[in-house]
Amino acid sequence: MKNIAVYPGTFDPVTNGHLDIIRRAAEIFDKVIVAVLINKNKKPIFTASQRLDHLKHCTKQFKNVTVDSFDGLLADYMRIKKAKVAIRGLRALTDLEYEFILANTNSELNPDMETVFLMPSAKYTYLTSSMVREAYAFGGRLKNSVPPYVEKELLKIYKK
């Protein structure tokens, strides 16, 4: 049986930290589904279809990676996709408490799934989508934070 992993997130926008995690997961699992969470309570800067487009563009070199979107519970989406492993990235210690709560809740909702944590390269430890949004919104640039394709899209939104 194929070992399928799902990497869920908002990806608003996808950063080089996310891509680092995707590359690591693609080396470990037979198939990785990067799943854009459509959360109606959040107001993302990029629509779900834009985020899907960014992810597809930036992951096309990985032959075993596909991109999809979902709403509702990850636990249910995992069952539909017959995936056992959910991937989460761990940056600094600040991620830990939230990620532990999430992993415990998910395993209660779906006892067949496991959450696997991957660490990015140290240079991405403090990189978050929200910092990227904040910097670009006010005319700043963060070197090596997002792929060039995504930077272009950010600059379209935050035209001076």
Distances (CA, A) of 76 to 23, 48, 91: 25, 19, 26
CB of 145 to ligand ADP, least distance (A): 9
Q: Which is nearer to ligand ADP, 146 or 160 (CB)?
A: 146
Distances (CA, A) of 93 to 19, 46, 66, 111, 153: 20, 28, 29, 26, 30
Q: Is 129 a catalytic residue?
A: yes
Backbone angles phi, psi at 19, to 5 degrees: -65, -30
Residue 135 and residue 31: Cα distance in Å, rounded? Answer: 34
Please pick, among 84, 88, 91, 133, the residue that the annotation labels catalytic. Answer: 91
Q: Is 95 in the site for ligand ADP (CB under 6 A)?
A: yes
Q: Is 106 in the site for ligand ADP (CB under 6 A)?
A: no
CB of 1 to ligand ADP, least distance (A): 25
Q: Which is nearer to ligand ADP, 1 or 27 (CB)?
A: 27
Q: Which residues contact 96 (CB under 8 A, 6 or more apart)?
A: 90
Q: Is 42 a catalytic residue?
A: yes
Question: Applying CB under 6 A, what is the total number of residues that bind ligand ADP?
Answer: 17
Q: Is 18 a catalytic residue?
A: yes
The residues carrying an active-site annotation are 18, 42, 91, 129
